[in-house]
Amino acid sequence: MKRRESIQGKTALDFHSDNKSNLERYDEFLDVVLSYAKKLNKPNPTIIDLGCGSGETELLLTKKLPYATIIGIDNSKTMIKLAKRLLKDCPRMKIYYKDINKLKPDFLHGDLIISRHTFHRLNELKKGFLTMSRLANKNAFLINNSFVNLKSLSVKEFEKWIDCFIERNNAPLNQKEWVLAHFNAPSVKEYVKAIKSVKSLKLIKIIVNDEGYGCNTIKTIASKK
């Protein structure tokens, strides 16, 4: 199934506008990230965000973890431009315009590798987790939060998803991208299979729940062996 891997131009701007006005949607994901950052027991961990978008996750993390080095990577020029503007006053932030599928092992390494709402766009899901593994230090944690295929939802969950779509009332291109992202997203089984196929990773936990969008998403949590 062919997925569009990056958001560009006006669609990216629409997503940024939507995200900027709905930062509470990040709360549950941030709670998970912060709980595993604490488990690292490091005063200044390095956190790498694959598919950082317009930088809202980074902005919130800098407030919660002021001594951490936070690195955002995205392959959308529009998103990178927005992120750099948003984070211009954050000295411990670094933003890179890179394709996450083409990152070299020696590019950089982190103690916590995260990704929010990116992996459901990857055409080769295993490659995404391989990249996470390559960038991870030993015993690092890897947290992915992504959409799940609509067929993974129960009838009741799908009805909630429809209600959420109606309530969003966003720009038409944004709405279209949101629907296609869910329609083309991997199933829960595909995420699990992709992680387990990467021998250097150990799957710790899977969370499938509503994170504030009115519909279920998946969080996969793994560690680097």
Residue with the larger pLDDT of the pair 95 and 139: 139
How many CB atoms are located within 10 Å of the residue 51 CB? 26
Tell me which long-range contacts 41-45 makes (C-beta under 8 A, separation of at least 24): 42/111, 43/67, 44/68, 44/69, 45/69, 45/110, 45/111, 45/112
CATH topology of domain 9-224: Rossmann fold (3.40.50)
Name the β-bridge partners of 71: 48, 94
Tell me which long-range contacts 80-88 makes (C-beta under 8 A, separation of at least 24): 82/12, 82/13, 82/16, 82/53, 82/54, 82/55, 83/52, 83/53, 83/54, 83/55, 83/58, 84/55, 86/54, 86/55, 86/56, 86/58, 86/59, 87/55, 87/58, 87/59, 87/62
In this structure, of 60-64, 129-133, 173-177, the range with the lowest mean pLDDT score is 173-177
pLDDT of residue 214: 63
Indicate the domain borders of the chain. Answer: 9-224
In this structure, are residues 119 and 187 in contact, taking their beta carbons and an 8 Å threshold?
no
pLDDT of 7 over the 80 cut? no
pLDDT of 11 over the 60 cut? no
What span, in angstroms and rounded, lies between the C-alpha atoms of 106 and 111?
A: 15
pLDDT of residue 3: 52
The CA distances from residue 144 to 127, 166, 207, in Å, are 13, 26, 10
pLDDT of 102 over the 70 cut? yes
pLDDT of 129 over the 90 cut? yes
pLDDT of 178 over the 70 cut? yes
* For residues 190-198, average pLDDT: 96
- Residue 138 burial by Cβ neighbours in a 10 Å radius (0-12, 13-18, 19+): exposed
Strands 216-224 and 201-210: antiparallel
The structure tokens 């694959």 sit at 50
What span, in angstroms and rounded, lies between the C-alpha atoms of 23 and 18?
A: 9
The structure tokens 């992709």 sit at 194
In this prediction, residue 76 has a pLDDT band, given cuts at 50, 70 and 90, of confident
CA 64-68-74 angle, to 5 degrees, is 95
Q: For the chain, give the percent of residues with pLDDT over 90.
A: 41
Name the β-bridge partners of 136: 110
pLDDT of 13 over the 60 cut? no
Q: For the chain, give the percent of residues with pLDDT over 70.
A: 85
Predicted TM-score (pTM) of the model is: 0.87
Residue with the larger pLDDT of the pair 191 and 212: 191
Give me the amino acid identity at 102.
K
pLDDT of 154 over the 90 cut? no
Name the β-bridge partners of 144: 115, 220
